[in-house]
Amino acid sequence: MRRIGPREVLRLQKINFVVLRHLLPALLRKKNRNPEYLAPRVRKVVLALGPPFVKLSQLVSSSPGLFPAVISNSLRDLLDDAPPEPWDTIQPVLEKGLGPRISQFASIETEPLAAASIAQVHGAILRDGTEVVVKVRRPGVEERFRRDLRLLRVTARIIQRLSKSARVMNPVAIVDDVVTTLRQELDFGREAASMDRFAANLKSFGSNDLIRVPVVHPDLLGHGVLTMERINGIKVDDLMKLQLTGLPLLELLKAGVRAWIEAACEHGFFHGDVHAGNLMVDGNGKVVFLDFGIMGELDETTRLVIRRGVVALLHDRDFAEVTRCLAELGAQMGHRATEERAANALRQLVEPELAKPLAEIDYNDLFMRALRLARPKGVQLPRSMVLLGKQVLYFERYAKLVAPDYDILSDTYLLEFMLE
């Protein structure tokens, strides 16, 4: 990534201006340094700075265990209800991407069903009466993302050098992941292929009858345009509506989590953005995975190490083996840490939590204790664990909503294929 140029300098000035404009009162007055005061102002900052910051806010909005819930809640609707582009700017992208094939549509809704940071989705009907949705990329979004991500990478490097707490979470790896996945999200041809591959993997292994992936219309795929079947359903975090359906929500939760774990640890090809806007339950009681723009891949060696580590942690309670697996994945244990010390520290931190139901696990407290433990020893998590952990946090939130008394960490159903 090249050094920042004049345009990035101007953008950095704007970012500083927007941040100071909305957050300076909290910095100057101690009584304002609380989540309730900050939440609406953080939201204004995200909206003012546009799609790249909307994208980065997804981790915050889907992880109230690590961030104050009031701030997470204030950003949650931006997952799939960001300010949309007007139809007159979207229509040219659609027409250019499909060319003469656009005549296959009988009608297209000008108001989007959902709008996110990269693209927005419009309902449509084909001439044969088939209901579909059309995903259309926002114009000019690629350059805006690349510019802002260059700035964020420079910022992450500075933070990583100056802050031992931040170094544990490997902020450069997080930004690098966003850069990598951006290339995937902008390529709708790749996304279509990912949908087919993900669905085929789940059909080939185990029992995934409760999982559904939308079917792509390959003849209506073009640059910046992706057409797929329309599936109506309820988002996984809309607990009130889900409860009214009378569906077995715990069973669906377990099916969704198991399918994702299987995808990552068996097939090595997993959905890399399972926030609430990308998961829903359809009218037939199936868990629907949406938006395959971000996919993660793990080679066989990494998969086997992760499987060893997960089984050692959740089934065998072998913390020495967990420590060895983390080291094999690239974790930096620090200059003063031995394997025995690291294993004992991990045991003291994690073992008391393993027998608790979800409602009793305070992930914010657990995270802060882990940070205090790791910071003075120079520990840094491996990139693969940071990125997988982000998805686990999403599922943890849904599990707490649907089944707060569920002892998810002791449920061998989720790990059966690993134990075999």
pLDDT in tens, 15-54: 888 888 888 777 677 777 777 888 888 888 888 887 777 7
Query: Residues of 131-163 as b/e, b for ≥16 C-beta within 10 angstroms?
Result: ebbbbbbbeebbebbbbbbbbbbbebeeebeee
Q: Does residue 297 lie in a domain region? A: yes
Predicted TM-score (pTM) of this structure? 0.78
CA distances from residue 94 to 91, 100, 213, 226, 308 in whole angstroms, order as listed:
5, 11, 23, 9, 47
Q: Which of 13-22, 156-165, 166-175, 296-305 is predicted most confidently?
A: 296-305
Q: Does residue 11 lie in a domain region? A: yes
Q: Does residue 108 lie in a domain region? A: no
Q: Does residue 148 lie in a domain region? A: no
> Which of 21, 51, 77 finishes a domain?
77
| Per annotation, catalytic residue among 88, 273, 291, 365 | 273
273 as an active site residue: the answer is yes
Q: Does residue 87 lie in a domain region? A: no
Give the contacts of 58 (CB within 8 A, at least 6 positions apart).
75, 78, 79, 117, 273, 275
Q: Which domain holds residue 55?
A: 6-77
Chain-centroid distance, C-alpha 124? 27
Task: Give the pLDDT score at 289.
Answer: 96
pLDDT at 371 > cutoff 60: no
Q: Does residue 208 lie in a domain region? A: no
* Token pair listed for 381: 């998590």
Least confident of 9-23, 65-79, 107-121: 65-79
Give residue 276's pLDDT band: very low, low, confident or very high (50, 70, 90).
Answer: confident
Q: Which of 28-42, 76-90, 332-346, 387-401 is predicted most confidently?
A: 76-90
Task: Give the pLDDT score at 197.
Answer: 96
Task: Give the pLDDT score at 63.
Answer: 58
> Which of 33, 48, 77 finishes a domain?
77
pLDDT at 349 > cutoff 90: no
Structurally, the chain folds into a number of domains equal to: 2
pLDDT at 370 > cutoff 50: yes
pLDDT at 364 > cutoff 70: no
pLDDT at 1 > cutoff 50: no
C-beta atoms surrounding 86 within 10 Å: 8
pLDDT at 332 > cutoff 70: no
Average per-residue pLDDT in the chain?
Answer: 82
Q: Does residue 110 lie in a domain region? A: no
> Which of 77, 102, 125 finishes a domain?
77
Q: Does residue 379 lie in a domain region? A: yes
pLDDT, tens only, 178-190? 666 677 788 899 9
| Exposed / middle / buried, residue 242 (Cβ in 10 Å: 0-12, 13-18, 19+) | buried
Give residue 359's pLDDT band: very low, low, confident or very high (50, 70, 90).
Answer: low
